[in-house]
Amino acid sequence: MAKVRITWIKSDIGYAKEQRRTLKALGFHRLGETVEQNDSPSILGMIDKVRHLVKVEVIGDGTD
C-alpha cells in the first residue's frame, strides 16, 4: 500500500467545524505540521474534504 505525506499549509480559522475535525482525524495538531498516512479510500476521502488546507505528496508506490 502506498503512503501519502500530508502537510497542513493553511489555517482552519473561518472554515466549518467538520473540516477542523477532519484535520484532527488525519493526525494534525498545528499548522505547518506534516503527517504520513496509508493511501486508503477513507484517508483519501478525508484529504479531499480539506484539499484547500493541505498539500499532498505520494511517497511510496506500494511495491516495498
Distance between CA atoms of residues 27 and 23, nearest Å: 7
Q: pTM of the prediction?
A: 0.88
Chain centroid offset of residue 62 CA: 18
Q: For the structural domain made of 3-58, what CATH number should be given?
A: 3.30.1390.20
Instruction: Please tell me the predicted confidence (pLDDT) of residue 49.
Output: 97
Distance between CA atoms of residues 36 and 4, nearest Å: 6
Chain centroid offset of residue 53 CA: 9
Instruction: Please tell me the predicted confidence (pLDDT) of residue 1.
Output: 77
**Length, in residues, of the chain:** 64
CA angle 61, 52, 22 (to 5 degrees): 80
pLDDT along the chain (64 residues), means of 10: 94 97 98 96 96 94 64
Instruction: Please tell me the predicted confidence (pLDDT) of residue 62.
Output: 61
Distance between CA atoms of residues 2 and 64, nearest Å: 9
